[in-house]
Amino acid sequence: MPILEVQNLRKSFGETLVLDDISFSMEKGTALSIIGSSGGGKTTLLRCLNFLEKPDSGIIRVNGETLLDASASGKADFQRNIRLKRLHFGLVFQSFNLFPQYTALENVMLAERMLAKEQPDWKERKQARIREIREHGEMLLKDMGLQDRMNNYPHQLSGGQCQRVAIAHALALNPDILCFDEPTSALDPELTGEVLRVIRGLADRNTTMIIVTHEMTFARDVADYVIFMDGGVICEEGDPREVFSNPQQERTRQFLSHYSQ
């Protein structure tokens, strides 16, 4: 059973159709890379998966459970249990979106603490839970190579370090699927390497990921599957080696030619 199934997803902003009948699925432990020209709808797709946008129609299913059947559901349905639905996904933003008043470690711990607080056993196990959450946060940051930076505030960190904190942030609640929206686009070229290395490490450990990126070499090397989006539709998809070396569609060829020079 695929971990994620997206069927006939449609989304328009006013008159503009931004996602036009998007369908795909992915297996647990694989990395899917989405490439495509600017304005193609990649960000909107990730935002729909994370329930930051309400699709006009379509189905989102995770582990066989239908999280969203947009054509059937009204606004109230979309909002119902939206927090629980969101927890299936993690999202790493292009602009990091760390919380500036918290240290790297506090950033990573915050969401888990908020969730733990809602558990009935929070009061009696408070100290132990906080210690567990702290250890978990420290482990995640160590994993990101930030053991020396845990107590720094975001403004004291480089862009690459911020983005790695953001990845730890997104991993803290163990999402089924981790989404990246151009995680290196806001970074200086010399800082992209460290972030890509971390994502590659996640791929090696079979983290289920959707990566929207303009780093074509990276997409080709890391992804198990690639989708090329243009004008709100999936133009071409398949094995990255196939799509990159032998694109079938004229549009894909055109797009990739910009990157080969």
- What is the C-alpha to C-alpha distance for residues 175 and 140, in angstroms, rounded to an integer? 14
Residue 42 is a binding residue for ligand ATP (CB under 6 A) = yes
What is the nearest approach in angstroms of other proteins to the Cβ of residue 142?
Answer: 20
Question: Is there a contact between 62 and 17 (Cβ–Cβ < 8 Å)?
Answer: no
CA dist 242 and 245 (Å) reads 5
For residues 90 and 137, which CB has a smaller minimum distance to ligand ATP in the complex? 90
Q: In angstroms, what is the minimal distance from the CB of 258 to Mg ion? A: 17
Check residue 123 for interaction with ligand ATP (CB under 6 A).
no
* 41 is a site residue for other proteins (CB under 8 A): no
From the list other proteins, ligand ATP, Mg ion, none, pick the one residue 90 interacts with, judged by a Cβ distance below 5 to 8 Å according to partner type.
Answer: other proteins
93 binds other proteins (CB under 8 A): yes
Q: How far, in Å, CA of 157 to CA of 163, rounded?
A: 10
**Between 103 and 192, CB nearer to Mg ion:** 192
Q: At what angle are helices 189-204 and 159-171 packed, to 10 degrees?
A: 20
- The interface partner of residue 40, options being Mg ion, other proteins, ligand ATP, none and the CB cut-off 5 to 8 Å by kind, is ligand ATP
User: 103: part of which helix (H) or strand (E)?
Assistant: none
Reduced 3-state DSSP string for 27-95: CCCCEEEEEECCCCCHHHHHHHHCCCCCCCEEEEEECCEEEEECCCCCHHHHHCCHHHHHCCEEEECCC
Look at residue 18 and give the partner it binds from other proteins, Mg ion, ligand ATP, none, a contact being a CB closer than 5 to 8 Å depending on partner kind.
ligand ATP
57-62 and 65-69 as β-strands: parallel, antiparallel, unpaired?
antiparallel
Interface residue with ligand ATP among 10, 24, 41, 165 (CB under 6 A) is 41
Figure out which of the listed residues 30, 33, 43, 107 binds Mg ion, where binding follows CB under 5 A.
Answer: 43
- Nearer to Mg ion (CB atom), residue 42 or residue 85: 42
Residues 99-128, mask of contacts with other proteins (x by CB under 8 A): xxxx-------xx--xx-------------
Cα dist. 72→8, 68, 77, 85 in Å? Answer: 13, 9, 9, 17
Positions touching other proteins (CB under 8 A) are 50-52, 83-84, 86-87, 89-91, 93, 95, 97-102, 110-111, 114-115, 153-155, 169-170, 172-173
Positions touching Mg ion (CB under 5 A) are 43
